[in-house]
């Protein structure tokens, strides 16, 4: 018997995509400073990494990150159930199955986007996880693979997986080409077809359907929310993080924030100092995630250069911040 209970769809109203090498716990902490309500996702963690590797290294996070979801990569139902249970025990708010990554390395592991060709296997994986945990089990997938561009393909995939107990689908509105394109090209070359995500919502009105892919601003988010339950933003949130600063107000009805970029930067410096003291983590591994904070502002390049200067690695983070602001002021005066 399933442990699952209905979950409020507003939880998925807005989220930041799982991005390999980017959305680690330091990145998520930074994003949480900008928005309290947006759902955050881990990088994809493979079942093999959790079963055979260092579980705390992969699952440790800061309690301030909630709501935070764990994305898993795998294709063995028993392994996924075990890892989903680990995620729940560690306190994650959701377990997400990756059925969208097109990289050859992921394909060699027989998971990611290639799983879309085996909807019954995905359904078996989902059922095993749904039966193992009480938190939501969700699926992130593409609209098709290779040259399979028929709506029927993604409709049947969602229908099959939904019967196994998945209530939430995050649709990257591009096909995944499994051969001939790099992961980067797979995010750019296959055309975006948001209308297929809209049709899924029409055909499955009781499911929570969210869209991902090519979304760069609030106007697009508002347009998609007229048709769908949620929007997931990827690289734009990373490269232009200040975009998220008003999301709690615009999309969740919270009071407008009085925070400034400087306030967020100072809070990140406090975090860097704590991480250095408690775990010996160099500030440079954390500061890289906030290099887009002054995106589009005068002096932004000089500010980024200071935060990227390897010669300053021995300096405390707050001192680097002072140097970065000095460089920005000097640039404005020149």
Boundaries of domain holding 305 = 261-333
Please give the Cα distance from 117 to 144 (Å, whole number). 9
Check: pTM over 0.85? Answer yes or no. yes
Residues 213, 77 within the same domain: yes
Residues 183, 305 within the same domain: no
Examine the pLDDT at 101 and tell me if it is beyond 60.
yes
Examine the pLDDT at 103 and tell me if it is beyond 90.
no
Residues 275, 243 within the same domain: no
Per-residue model confidence (pLDDT) at position 1: 41
Q: Has residue 122 been placed in a domain?
A: yes
- Cβ atoms 212, 173 nearer than 8 A: yes
Residues 28, 147 within the same domain: yes
Q: Has residue 67 been placed in a domain?
A: yes
Q: How much is the average pLDDT of 98-114? A: 76
Neighbours of 325 (CB within 10 A): 16
Q: What is the pLDDT of residues 61-72, one digit of tens each?
A: 999 999 999 999
Structure tokens at 72: 């898993």
Q: What is the pLDDT of residues 199-216, one digit of tens each?
A: 999 999 999 999 999 999
State the average pLDDT for the chain.
Answer: 93
Percent of residues, the chain, with pLDDT higher than 70: 94
Residues 189, 74 within the same domain: yes
Q: For 68, left (φ over 0), alpha (ψ -120 to 50), or beta?
A: beta
Q: Has residue 1 been placed in a domain?
A: no
Per-residue model confidence (pLDDT) at position 281: 94
Please give the Cα distance from 16 to 14 (Å, whole number). 7
Nearest to 39 by CA among 75, 76, 10, 2: 10
Per-residue model confidence (pLDDT) at position 7: 60
Q: How much is the average pLDDT of 296-307? A: 94
Residues 82, 178 within the same domain: yes
Residues 295, 273 within the same domain: yes
From 252, 277, 312, give the residue that closes a domain. Answer: 252
From 220, 252, 284, give the residue that closes a domain. Answer: 252
List Cα–Cα distances, 215 to 34, 56, 212, 233, in angstroms. Answer: 18, 33, 7, 6
Strand partners, 94: 69
Residues 280, 318 within the same domain: yes
Q: Has residue 178 been placed in a domain?
A: yes
Examine the pLDDT at 237 and tell me if it is beyond 60.
yes
Q: Has residue 327 been placed in a domain?
A: yes
Q: How much is the average pLDDT of 152-174? A: 98
How many structural domains does the chain have? 2
Q: Has residue 3 been placed in a domain?
A: no
Q: What is the pLDDT of residues 258-294, one digit of tens each?
A: 899 999 999 999 999 999 999 999 999 999 999 999 9
- Cβ atoms 307, 279 nearer than 8 A: no
Please give the Cα distance from 69 to 59 (Å, whole number). 11
Residues 110, 47 within the same domain: yes
From 199, 232, 252, give the residue that closes a domain. Answer: 252
* CATH classification at residue 98: 3.20.20.70
Q: What is the pLDDT of residues 122-162, one digit of tens each?
A: 999 999 999 999 999 999 999 999 888 899 999 999 999 99
Q: Has residue 4 been placed in a domain?
A: no
Compare 45 and 109 and report the one with higher pLDDT: 45
Compare 333 and 188 and report the one with higher pLDDT: 188
Q: Has residue 2 been placed in a domain?
A: no
Residues annotated as catalytic are: 101
Residues 153, 271 within the same domain: no
Residues 24, 107 within the same domain: yes
Residues 186, 275 within the same domain: no
Per-residue model confidence (pLDDT) at position 8: 57
């Amino acid at each position: 018997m399933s442990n699952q209970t209905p979950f409020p769809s507003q939880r998925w109203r807005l989220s930041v995509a799982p991005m390999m090498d980017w959305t680690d716990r330091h990145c998520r902490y930074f994003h949480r400073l900008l928005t309290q309500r947006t759902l955050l996702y881990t990088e994809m963690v493979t079942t093999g990494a959790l079963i055979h590797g260092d579980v705390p290294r992969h699952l440790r996070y800061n309690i301030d990150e909630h709501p935070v979801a764990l994305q898993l990569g795998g294709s063995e139902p028993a392994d996924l159930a075990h890892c989903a249970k680990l995620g729940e025990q560690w306190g994650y708010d959701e377990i997400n199955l990756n059925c969208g990554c097109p990289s050859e390395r992921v394909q060699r592991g027989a998971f990611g986007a290639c799983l879309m060709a085996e909807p019954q296997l995905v359904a078996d994986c989902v059922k095993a996880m749904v039966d193992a945990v009480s938190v939501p089990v969700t699926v992130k997938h593409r609209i098709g693979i290779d040259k399979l561009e028929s709506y029927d393909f993604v409709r049947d995939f969602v229908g099959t997986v939904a019967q196994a107990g998945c209530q939430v689908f995050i649709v990257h509105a591009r096909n995944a080409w499994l051969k001939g394109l790099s992961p980067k090209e797979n995010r750019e070359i296959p055309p975006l077809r948001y209308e297929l995500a809209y049709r899924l919502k029409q055909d499955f009105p009781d499911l929570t359907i969210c869209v991902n892919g090519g979304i760069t601003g609030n106007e697009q988010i508002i347009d998609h929310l007229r048709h769908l339950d949620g929007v997931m933003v990827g690289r734009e949130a990373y490269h232009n993080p200040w975009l998220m600063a008003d999301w709690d107000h615009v999309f969740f009805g919270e009071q407008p924030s009085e925070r400034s970029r400087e306030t967020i930067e100072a809070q990140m410096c406090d975090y860097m100092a704590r991480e250095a003291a408690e775990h010996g983590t160099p500030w440079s591994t954390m500061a890289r995630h906030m290099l887009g904070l002054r995106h589009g502002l005068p002096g932004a390049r000089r500010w980024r250069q200071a935060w990227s200067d390897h010669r300053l690695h021995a300096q405390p983070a707050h001192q680097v911040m002072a140097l970065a602001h000095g460089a920005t002021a000097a640039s404005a005066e020149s």
